[in-house]
Structure 1
Amino acid sequence: MIFSANTMTEKRSQVQASRPIRIIAITRKPESPSFEHRITRYRKGLTEYGIELTFQTLPRSVRGQWQVLKDMRRYDGVWWHRHLLSPWVSTRLHKETPPIVFDFDDPLVYSARGGGQHSWSRQILFSRMLRRSSVALAASKSLADLALPFCPSVVEIPMAVDIPTRVESPVRATNKRLELLWLGTEKTQPYLDLIRRPLMDLGYRKDVKLRLVAHKPMTFGDLEVDFRPWSANEQTMALQACDIGLCPMPDTVWTRGKCPYKVLQYMAHAMPWIGSAVGENRIMAGSNLKEQRGLCASSNDQWMQMLVQLTQDANLRRTLGNQSYKYVAGNHCRSILINRLAKTWRNVLGQEK
């Protein structure tokens, strides 16, 4: 969704539609999941719209960054991935620089440490970068709101997820033990401690176990835990086999703007899920809608109540799973978002027909 429009400059309109649009995508961390999901996975699809991406790692040295800024002038546009430039580098962004599209998926005005403390220095760098950008691509509505005061045009591009070919939630075998699922990174694994008590209390259910696709084992009292070291293959198998996804999160200014990728994965596999009632979790779950897509809990008691409810009600699991699948297929499908991205770039460069 485009929140505001911007008059195109004469230079942008000079880009010839008869040749491919050449975009340089710049990042400090080319191997990061953020860069992969926000930019790399769009590379092939954008070529079908006549947009060619070249990837460039931003050096740490000031001299190296100056050279990258100089090289940017050979391209039609710049897709800048989240990094905030220091003042003595950002001053080199002048009128000869091609249009910049700034892409971010975290609330960059806050520090990730300690739950997210507001940083005035980051606020200044963030605002300066956005004022030099033609468009900001935000991963959520709350992140878009952070950019609006500083950028003339903000486009919401949510995280995309690969959608398996499936039309409804699978019916699990009645003799199969129900499997809860948590998967994720070493950084977010401590979030499971937030629901340690309800998971331990669920230990009396011998027909329920937890599959943990993570970086280290954990125990939760008498609840059986099937630990699988994280790998792409283990993740895929878990998403296909498990019954209920889990997404506990602390309530901080940092997490309120994030849409956990694991929730999108659960939903894309028509898996019902329970998450903490924090930020984007509530939006993804449709907490205020009649037809909910997930369940959100605000306390240990609510977590326990919802765990018991979902493990006992197969019809509810099927309904939530189907609603989840329909939602992500219509809002987070990569083909839909590629079209939105292509339209954004052609708007920026004055080529939109």
Structure 2
Amino acid sequence: MKQIAFLMHKSFHGRFRVKEFIPFFKNHGINVELVRVPDNILSRYRNYKRLSDFDIVIVQRRLLSPLDLTLVKSYSKKMLFDFDDSIMYRSSRHKNHHSWSKMKKFKTMMKTVDAVIAGNTYLKNEAAKFIPHEKIYIIPTIVDLKEYSIKNYNETKKDFIIGWIGTSGNLDYLKSITPAFEKLNNKYKNIKLKIVCDRFFDLSNIEVIKKIWRPEDVEKDLKSFDVGVMPIADDLWTRGKCGLKVVQYLAAGVPAVVSPIGLNREIAIPGKTGLWAVDMDDWTDKISELVDYPDKRMKMGIAGRKLVEDKYSLQAQAPRYLAILSKIARWDFDTNQT
């Protein structure tokens, strides 16, 4: 039997880059196991020894220490590295994004693995500094279309909901456009901001709907948005982001207003699936445009859903992923089979 191991640190859930693909792989006769990296070195060593049972070992996102990397490589028939963030740099919370230690570990990882799967072109180009282009493949961060239905545009609503979904570590990006929300509230009397997260903040001039993130509620929460927003800074860290929240907005048929950074530029296509905002006036004007023209919202939402179906869905990318793994492991079967 063909076998894949995803090597994951204990805190990494991997839903959108690992777990969504597992049923598809299993339907093609591939056994998939999630192998965790324990804190204890002896436990790690025992787990690493098991890797020799697999055709491919895919290390998820985290850069391994020199010792761990040597051990994993020694027990792997084929070793891949999959990442969807600028892990070779420090996050936006740091003034200096460059990190000698992170870049050194990244360089060593790239020179050790047999192939790399990157979440976007920016990350591919970072990897290509240390590994040949032909060994790098792009698989975007995806959603399963079965979990997202398109919103009902004919629903009568009293309020216009500006929505944001994400982790609390990214809330500062949302806070950064507070002046735009306040201007919008002065311009319209039915504007509300809905935050789907595990933490929240208040605004003095606009009502904030605080919704705890729960996986079973995500589809309903997204469909309650009239527009989804994704403001981010422009730095070495954010340019590697793979735009998951924008993909989620569009999957539900919700147009997006975004900072045109990284993959956002390809997902939120201006005038087609979303709009770009580069300063505070832009955020006010672009959201106002979608408040004023509901037909435009609907048209963009429908086009956004189609884009996700074609490029950013499990249904579109799973056959590509399987074809990549088949090429690397030299498996011989029809990867176009569904």
User: Normalising to structure 1: TM-score of the pair?
Assistant: 0.86
- Deviation of residue 218 (structure 1)? 2.4
Following superposition of structure 1 onto structure 2, how do residues 307-326 of structure 1 map, counting pairs within 5 Å? 307-326=287-306
- Deviation of residue 262 (structure 1)? 1.3
Q: 1:164, 1:269 within 8 Å by CA — same for their partners in 2?
A: no
**Paired residue for 2:21?**
42
- Deviation of residue 214 (structure 1)? 2.3
Partners of 2:219 and 2:28 in 1: CA distance: 30
Q: 2:9, 2:38 within 8 Å by CA — same for their partners in 1?
A: yes
- Deviation of residue 94 (structure 1)? 5.2
2:254 counterpart (271, 279, 288): 271
1:159 counterpart (129, 141, 151): 141
- Deviation of residue 198 (structure 1)? 0.6
Q: 1:180, 1:245 within 8 Å by CA — same for their partners in 2?
A: yes
Partners of 1:64 and 1:118 in 2: CA distance: 33
State the Cα deviation string for residues 236-259 of structure 1 (Å, max 9, x = none): 322122211111112221111102
Moved more, 329-338 or 299-308: 329-338
1:350 counterpart (323, 326, 330): 330
**Paired residue for 1:97?**
76
2:52 counterpart (73, 77, 91): 73
Q: 2:85, 2:242 within 8 Å by CA — same for their partners in 1?
A: no
Partners of 2:214 and 2:287 in 1: CA distance: 26
Which secondary structure does the structure 2 equivalent of 1:91 belong to?
helix
**Paired residue for 1:51?**
30
Which secondary structure does the structure 1 equivalent of 2:330 belong to?
coil
1:239 aligns with 2:218: no
CA RMSD of aligned residues (A): 2.2
**Paired residue for 1:222?**
205
Q: 1:254 to 1:115 in 2, by over 3 A?
A: farther
**Paired residue for 2:183?**
201
- Deviation of residue 91 (structure 1)? 3.0
**Paired residue for 2:120?**
140
1:298 aligns with 2:278: yes
State the Cα deviation string for residues 152-190 of structure 1 (Å, max 9, x = none): 411100011122588976324355321111122111122
Partners of 2:112 and 2:124 in 1: CA distance: 16
Which secondary structure does the structure 2 equivalent of 1:118 belong to?
coil
Which secondary structure does the structure 2 equivalent of 1:348 belong to?
helix
Q: 2:49, 2:75 within 8 Å by CA — same for their partners in 1?
A: no
Partners of 1:219 and 1:53 in 2: CA distance: 44
Which secondary structure does the structure 2 equivalent of 1:212 belong to?
strand
Partners of 1:278 and 1:169 in 2: CA distance: 26
**Paired residue for 2:267?**
284
After TM superposition, what 4+ stretches of structure 1 lie above 4 angstroms from structure 2? 93-96, 164-169
Partners of 1:249 and 1:94 in 2: CA distance: 36
- Deviation of residue 61 (structure 1)? 3.6
**Paired residue for 2:236?**
253
Amino acid across the alignment from 2:4? I
Partners of 1:246 and 1:95 in 2: CA distance: 45
Partners of 1:228 and 1:165 in 2: CA distance: 19
Moved more, 193-202 or 93-102: 93-102
- Deviation of residue 232 (structure 1)? 2.5
Which secondary structure does the structure 2 equivalent of 1:102 belong to?
strand
Which secondary structure does the structure 2 equivalent of 1:26 belong to?
strand
**Paired residue for 1:28?**
9
Bigger relative contact order, structure 1 or 2, given CA contacts below 8 A and separation 6+? 1
- Deviation of residue 70 (structure 1)? 2.4
**Paired residue for 1:111?**
90
State the Cα deviation string for residues 108-128 of structure 1 (Å, max 9, x = none): 211224166121222121121
User: Normalising to structure 2: TM-score of the pair?
Assistant: 0.90
- Deviation of residue 103 (structure 1)? 0.7
Partners of 2:223 and 2:156 in 1: CA distance: 16
Which secondary structure does the structure 2 equivalent of 1:330 belong to?
helix
Which secondary structure does the structure 2 equivalent of 1:298 belong to?
coil
Q: 1:246, 1:273 within 8 Å by CA — same for their partners in 2?
A: yes
> Percent of counterpart pairs with the same letter?
26
Structure 2 gaps of 5+ residues are 334-338
Q: 1:25 to 1:165 in 2, by over 3 A?
A: closer
**Paired residue for 1:171?**
153
**Paired residue for 2:62?**
83
- Deviation of residue 206 (structure 1)? 1.1
Kindly tell me the number of residue pairs found equivalent between the two proteins: 329
Amino acid across the alignment from 1:45? F
Which secondary structure does the structure 1 equivalent of 2:20 belong to?
helix
Partners of 1:213 and 1:89 in 2: CA distance: 37
- Deviation of residue 137 (structure 1)? 0.7
Q: 2:309, 2:316 within 8 Å by CA — same for their partners in 1?
A: no
1:211 aligns with 2:194: yes
Moved more, 228-237 or 162-171: 162-171
Q: 2:148, 2:219 within 8 Å by CA — same for their partners in 1?
A: no
